[in-house]
């Protein structure tokens, strides 16, 4: 794993290696353990190596292999940024097509030779890869379903540029880094549901679970994997669901601990990260071969109300993990200057704390830093399927869980019924009426993302970027539909990609067991009432891990007080500087007077609109972008003692 880039001239003109060299210089940080290159005059493909897994280290001689003789038998050239988790299964199925020291790239190549464009059905893990068939002059470039690796492209006539980062493509001489204004407008409104857009004009992202298929005179992006909406998993006892979930999650954690070097984990007090820690400790106690785990937890010396160590410390003590505290008071949320990049602004208000985690993990010689980023998507969201219980005639369970819900939230039962049963029933009936033609779409408003109060009319009427992520498999309805929408939420998908972007800059890989495709398939196949029940969020996960760690109750505390303190008090001068002469005003998207008036009210505690943070972060990014765009794009030559020069 590490990264990739490619330049293809479909019209066979020379010059592809020159563009590749520019991209290699921009992606040098992704190849600390070497670079593999296939360089033809009209097609150059490069893979950057970052050795993480046992399989990575076992393959000492890293090179792109031409699988067959390209000149005679239509061989393939494959480059990948990948960690393949179902290696054993693939090695068994594809035994005749693999060498004994097969790398993850070799596994992908063999899978493509066997199954062609359907190979994503058989690949489990985090990946982005490209397959070039020089005989057919056809490129197939695909991305994993949970967007854990980045993959971007630009096509100018007969030239295609492909890379793990947007900045690599703009490093090619002659490629513009002009802003893509529709993406900026969507970001300001808090609309992240356009998986193909980037912030640079003419550069697109390959969406998760999609592939770019390009050949002379033709290119298309299409979905190449999805869940099976008809798959169902049914057990007689609730305990069987818990056991099955625990088994799948343990395998997801094990796969991400197959490294010879320590693995780090951002450990809070919530279910998502504590589940990873407890499972890792349990696997080690069972004699399973896993990497040593180091934990990194936030310390709130001046905001004890935000501290979660009453949970995390117990887990660290129980399993004897090495632990490091991150002093949040020493990490500014606004004034720290992140490395300039052309990817996109970050979304999280605590992004700099995550960066500090990567720095410390790299200092401690970890090869990977894990998080529970996708946990909320897979088993959270407070999606209770009371209508499903009603429709299936499970009356006793329905009444029992509604009573539990009301008791847990200390609310009147009638309020819970109105919110959780009557409201969703009205929505579902409305959908049915519209689908049946008995009600026109105009009878009910179409949901849209509202603009912040400081937006100008130009922003309010700006067209949204093309390529919405509103895809829903046929056959999904009710809470199963809502779960699918949550699990594929665009903002969180971008967060997973951004984690990888930040990790590799510290020489690390990023990983999240909750992003495992097998978990996604399981969650979509079991009854939704198994996941969240009786007013308890993440019920199945809590039940699975409380048995491993009796007496410890995970409890997530959102550190909003830290965020508000930074914007209102400790870093107010830096906020004010960003509001002075903002570049967003030059784009015509914000009214500066209304924005400053909002900040005055925010500081007084009378306002708290999360889109204010998006505006601040975007303003910072724009200033970096303008500074970056003024450079002459000169880059240092790529040199490393392990690399192969191009």
In angstroms, rounded to a whole number, what is the distance separating the alpha carbons of residues 633 and 646? 19
Strands 152-156 and 35-40: unpaired
Residue 42 is assigned to a ligand binding site: no
Whether 366 and 262 have beta carbons less than 8 Å apart is answered as yes
Please list the residues that pair with 129 across neighbouring strands. Answer: 80, 142
- Give first-to-last CA distance, the chain, whole Å: 19
432: left (phi over 0), alpha (psi -120 to 50) or beta: alpha
Q: Where are the beta strands (DSSP E) in 167-292?
A: 204-205, 210-215, 218-223, 263-266
Which residue in the block uniquely carries the two structure tokens 């979930």?
A: 245
Which distant-in-sequence residues (6+ apart) come within 8 Å of 234 by Cβ? 526, 527
- H/E run at residue 525: helix 517-525
Identify which of 31, 38, 33, 24 has the alpha carbon closest to the alpha carbon of residue 67: 38
Please list the residues that pair with 369 across neighbouring strands. Answer: 264, 510
The number of helix segments (H) and strand segments (E) in the chain equals: 27, 16
Which strands make up the sheet holding 2-9, listed edge to edge? 35-40, 43-49, 2-9, 159-163, 152-156, 204-205
What is Dmax (Cα atoms) for the chain? Answer: 75
In angstroms, rounded to a whole number, what is the distance separating the alpha carbons of residues 348 and 329? 17
The string over 392-429, giving b where at least 16 C-beta atoms fall within 10 Å of a residue's C-beta and e elsewhere, is eebeeebeebbeebbeeeeeeeeebeeebbeebeeeee
In angstroms, rounded to a whole number, what is the distance separating the alpha carbons of residues 116 and 119? 6
Whether 97 and 118 have beta carbons less than 8 Å apart is answered as no
Distance set, CA 303 to CA 298, 326, 559 (Å) = 11, 13, 9
Residue 104 is assigned to a ligand binding site: yes
In angstroms, rounded to a whole number, what is the distance separating the alpha carbons of residues 177 and 629? 7
Which distant-in-sequence residues (6+ apart) come within 8 Å of 455 by Cβ? 188, 189, 589, 590, 591
Annotated binding site for L-glutamine: 104
Annotated binding site: 104, 266
Annotated binding site for ATP: 266
């Amino acid at each position: 794993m590490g990264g990739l880039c490619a330049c293809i001239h479909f019209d066979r003109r020379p010059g592809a290696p020159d563009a590749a060299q520019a991209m290699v210089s921009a992606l040098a940080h992704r190849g600390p353990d070497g670079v593999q290159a296939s360089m033809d005059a009209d097609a150059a493909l490069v893979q950057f190596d970052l050795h993480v897994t046992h399989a990575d280290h076992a393959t000492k001689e890293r090179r792109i292999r031409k699988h067959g003789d390209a000149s005679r038998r239509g061989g393939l050239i494959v480059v990948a940024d990948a960690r393949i988790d179902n290696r054993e299964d693939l090695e068994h199925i594809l035994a005749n097509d693999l060498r004994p020291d097969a790398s993850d790239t070799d596994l992908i190549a063999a899978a493509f030779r066997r199954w062609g464009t359907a190979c994503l059905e058989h690949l489990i893990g985090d990946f982005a890869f490209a397959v070039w068939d020089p005989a057919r002059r056809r490129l197939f470039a695909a991305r994993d379903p949970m967007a854990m690796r980045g993959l971007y492209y630009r096509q100018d006539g007969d030239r295609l540029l492909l890379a793990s980062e947007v900045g690599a493509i703009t490093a090619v001489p002659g490629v513009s880094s002009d802003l893509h204004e529709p993406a900026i407008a969507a970001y300001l409104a808090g609309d992240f549901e356009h998986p193909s857009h980037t912030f640079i004009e003419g550069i697109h992202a390959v969406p998760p679970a999609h592939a770019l298929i390009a050949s002379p005179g033709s290119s298309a992006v299409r979905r190449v994997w999805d869940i099976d909406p008809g798959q169902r998993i049914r057990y007689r006892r609730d305990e069987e669901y818990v056991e099955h979930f625990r088994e799948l999650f343990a395998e997801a954690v094990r796969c991400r601990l197959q490294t010879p070097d320590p693995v780090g984990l951002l450990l809070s007090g919530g279910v998502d990260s504590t589940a990873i820690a407890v499972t890792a400790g349990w696997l080690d106690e069972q004699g399973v071969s896993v990497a040593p785990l180091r934990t990194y937890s936030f310390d709130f010396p001046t905001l004890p109300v935000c501290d979660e160590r009453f949970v995390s410390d117990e887990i660290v003590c129980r399993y004897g993990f090495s632990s490091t505290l991150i002093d949040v008071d020493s990490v500014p949320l606004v004034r720290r200057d992140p490395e300039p990049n052309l990817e996109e602004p970050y979304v999280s208000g605590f992004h700099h704390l995550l960066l500090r985690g990567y720095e410390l993990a790299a200092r401690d010689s970890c090869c990977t830093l894990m998080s529970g980023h996708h946990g909320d998507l897979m088993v959270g969201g407070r999606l209770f399927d009371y209508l499903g219980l009603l429709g299936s005639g499970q009356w006793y369970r329905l009444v029992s869980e509604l009573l539990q819900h009301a008791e847990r939230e200390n609310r009147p039962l009638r309020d819970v019924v109105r919110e959780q049963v009557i409201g969703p029933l009205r929505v579902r009936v409305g959908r049915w009426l519209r689908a049946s033609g008995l009600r026109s779409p105009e009878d009910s408003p179409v949901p849209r993302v509202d603009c912040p109060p400081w937006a100008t009319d130009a922003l309010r009427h700006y067209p949204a970027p093309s390529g919405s992520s509103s895809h829903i498999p046929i056959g999904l309805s009710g809470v199963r539909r809502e779960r699918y929408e949550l699990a594929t939420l665009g903002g969180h998908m971008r967060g997973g990609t951004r984690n990888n972007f930040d990790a590799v800059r510290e020489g690390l890989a990023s990983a999240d067991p909750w992003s495992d495709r097998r978990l996604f398939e399981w969650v979509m196949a079991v009854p939704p009432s198994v996941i969240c029940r009786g007013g308890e969020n993440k019920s199945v996960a809590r039940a699975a891990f409380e048995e491993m760690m009796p007496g410890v109750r995970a409890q997530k505390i959102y550190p909003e007080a830290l965020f508000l303190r930074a914007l209102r008090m400790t870093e107010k001068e830096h906020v004010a500087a960003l509001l002075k002469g903002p570049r967003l005003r030059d784009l015509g998207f914000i009214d500066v007077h209304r924005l400053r008036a909002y900040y005055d009210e925010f500081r007084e505690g009378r306002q708290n609109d999360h889109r204010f943070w998006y505006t601040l972060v975007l303003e910072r990014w724009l200033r970096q972008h303008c500074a970056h765009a003024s450079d002459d794009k000169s880059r240092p030559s790529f040199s490393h003692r392990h690399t192969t020069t191009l």
